[in-house]
Amino acid sequence: MRSVMIRAAIALPLLSGVALAQMPGGPPPAVGVVKVLPTAIVETADFIGRIQAVDRVALTARVTAFLDQRLFTEGAEVVAGDLLYRLERAPFEAAVAQQEAAVADVGARLTNAVAHLARAQKLLATPAGLRATYEDAQASQESLAALYAAAQAQLQTARIALSYTEIRAPVGGKISRGSVTPGNAVSPTSGTLATIVSQDPMYVVFPVASRTLTALQTRYAAKGGIGAVAVRLKLPDGSPYAQTGEIDYIDPTVSPTTDTVTVRARIANPALRPPEPGKSVDRPLLDGAFVAVSVEGIQPVAALGIPRAAVLSDQQGDYVYVLGDGNKVEQRRIRLGQSTAAMAVVAAGLKDGETVVAEGIQKVRPGAVVAPAPIGAPPNPTAPPAAPAGK
């Protein structure tokens, strides 16, 4: 009997609350409302892209020699022209010296041949001169001139081979770990010694459906074309990226398998802290990372906008609650445009100046009468304040 009385006591307040909520004479629920007004919005189109380095260089040996020194810190950033590897130099220095001697030898013989040709030419004007002697001297001089040119070319080849014993950075960027340690023999067929990936700026490459690209080009044709839009990113952790990029390349062909066009934008990738020579530098964008890409118009456009919280959805699509005559709630189907997390752009279904419910939506149903108040204003209930307890 006691348990029955307790259950009855618990149920009584609940039933009383339901009865009060359903009383025809109860006050209408207070809701927050907003006017549907033209709002300046930035048109956006969202895609998934991948970060790509502007420059990527695979370092390889250009001569066969032993690797003497590795002069960089793995993972650090290098500057174009930095000395990275030094190969064994002695054999190549000896080859240069040998070719220098060959050039000197042929040069001396060529000097003698030139003098002999000059004497033969002078004697040709006298009775003692012979045409055959002159022609032999001329042929000897021309032959030695050719040998001298060949010796000089071989000397230049030897000097080039000597210069290849120093492997320098052709571009600036972050260098990978080395694949060969000092003491090993390397050659042009040994493969990649290390890879340099440029860091700033970076490319972001993303596929765009051909139909979407055509729509974007048409939309921004009067504003300078697709190159006039701004490209913004969200990093893999979802945080927005502070830098803004611009499109610098659109692929001239459409992929036959995906019906998309590859678009590329260039964007800055500054260091998170001042770089120090020989140390790793942290930057927000990493080569190969996936990012969310937003293509935004530079100039805002006017569109009907309402808070995103005012939009509800069901199986039939999106809808809002609109206030009609006498603050009566009406359900209205809408079609959304390019919306954001905070603002919904209404492409169809609402008119300028109409009022929609944005707060307290859970309290209303179609056909109900509500007590509206602008969002941010204090509620103004029509019912008198409740009497103090015990009165």
pLDDT at 44: 74
What is the distance between the alpha carbons of residues 306 and 302, in angstroms, rounded to a whole number?
A: 13
In the predicted model, residues of the chain with pLDDT beneath 70 are: 1-26, 43, 127-129, 277-278, 298-302, 338-341, 376-391
pLDDT at 359: 82
pLDDT at 338: 65
DSSP string, 245-291: BEEEEE-SS--TTT-EEEEEEEE----SS---TTS----S--TT-EE
Domains and CATH numbers, the chain: 29-41+302-374 (2.40.420.20), 44-54+198-300 (2.40.30.170), 60-84+168-195 (no CATH), 90-163 (1.10.287)
pLDDT tens for 193-250 read 999 999 989 999 999 888 888 877 887 777 777 777 889 999 988 889 999 998 889 9
327: left (phi over 0), alpha (psi -120 to 50) or beta: left
What is the distance between the alpha carbons of residues 388 and 149, in angstroms, rounded to a whole number?
A: 115
Strands 83-87 and 166-168, by their bridges, are antiparallel
DSSP assigned state of 389 = T
Altogether, the residues listed in the chain come to a count of 391
- Neighbour tally for 40: CB within 10 Å: 10
